[in-house]
A = this chain, B = another copy of it.
């Protein structure tokens, strides 16, 4: 079957999500089944408003430029489809003879693929709808990891390494630094900060993730213990830290707002923890909160992630023109000592709207650090090894005065 292919980008940015778009376009250009290629402006919102960019004659230099571009070159959205959108969506798909619907996003976007596919099937319209995974959160089931995660993990590790070197240098003055990373309900990005540590005394000293409930009391106790031991403390925390009762660690966080999927917008836990450290422990504290830079910093992207993100885009087109629908592309890690992945397919029904937390095996018993198993898992995803820095912190001259 031949027809129009539409491609859209949805949800939060990743550094590599336009590499996936480039992969989609490159494969579609080579496919005999694709008559026209349209990009949706701002994801499914673009489809509903019929805002399309014609990419049918994408020149090679545009493909190259997309591979250098972070975030969503087509624009993104956080629109959750409802049944009232069904008629309009089908009208637009039919009017443009769309037969291939490729949607690059996370678990919210998988819901979009699920809905569009269902509406097409119900109305007897022949459509192949494929989800392409993309999220720094790494919280999708059915895939070894998500495109976008490797780059965010690399960014977080570098934030801990460089921010940690700053903490070490000024340890006689600034006592505690709290690095806040993204992660609504899962700590995958925060956990990656552990890659910065080479020796026991290196930052980060503590890592807190939503998978392990935390109390303010325990946090203060563990920060004080680390300070007593190392002389300064570098802590990595996830924005979505939770108390044992499941509520956010600071229930009164005024910045919590709701997005289209009813999820609160987080951010700010580091500031509240820093205030707590200062007032309760009397230790000078600072916060680093790189925010959206951690998901959009192209200059620090993982080479492995860039390549895999391109590859899943190509795989999505191959799957669609081969007749698959309502599937998501997966990355499957090959067994063996050398890191390698193949692509696969999983039903969107099995991933849509679901979140994969860090497994127990990746977190230590105390719930304040990761395990070697996690480090082995994440290390290949960040591309080139992290740089190594010099520390000249140990006096070697005998005292004379």
CA distance A397 to B18 in the complex (A): 21
Which of A61-69, A109-117, A216-224 sits within the interface?
A61-69
State in angstroms the CA–CA spacing of A396 and B255 once bound together.
38
| Partner-binding segment picked from A123-131, A157-165, A365-373 | A157-165
Of the candidates B42, B96, B162, B170, the one whose C-beta lies within 8 Å of that of A70 is: B162
A146 contacts B by Cβ under 8 Å: no
Which of B69, B257, B394 touches A284 (beta carbons < 8 Å)? B257
Residues of B within 8 A of A42 (CB): 171-172
Given that A38-B397, A288-B290, A289-B289 are contacting pairs, would A162 and B297 also be in contact in the complex, using a CB cutoff of 8 Å?
yes
The tally of residues in A whose CB lies under 8 Å from a CB in B reads 94
How far in angstroms is the closest Cβ of chain B from A265?
7
Interface residues of A in 67-105 (CB under 8 A from B): 68-79, 88, 91-92, 94-96
- Cross-chain contact A159 with B293 (CB below 8 angstroms): yes
* CB pair A13 B69 closer than 8 Å: no
Partner of A401, one of B71, B76, B92: B92
| A299 / chain B contacts, CB cutoff of 8 Å | 158, 162, 299-300, 387
Does residue A356 face the partner (Cβ distance < 8 Å to B)? no
Residue pair A287, B286 in contact (C-beta under 8 Å): no
Structural contact, A53 and B165, CB atoms closer than 8 A? no
* Residue picked from A46, A265, A288, A390, most chain B C-beta under 10 Å: A390
Whether a CB of chain B sits under 8 angstroms from the CB of A251 is: no
Closest to A39 in B: B392
Q: Which listed residue, B45, B170, B265, B291, touches A78 by the CB 8 Å rule?
A: B170
Structural contact, B271 and A255, CB atoms closer than 8 A = yes
Q: Which of A159, A166, A295, A395 has the most CB of B within 10 A?
A: A166
Is the pair B52, A395 in contact by a Cβ cutoff of 8 Å?
Answer: yes
Query: For the complex, what is the distance from the CA of A52 to the CA of B401, rounded to whole Å?
Result: 12
Measured CB to CB, the closest approach of chain B to A305, in angstroms, equals: 15
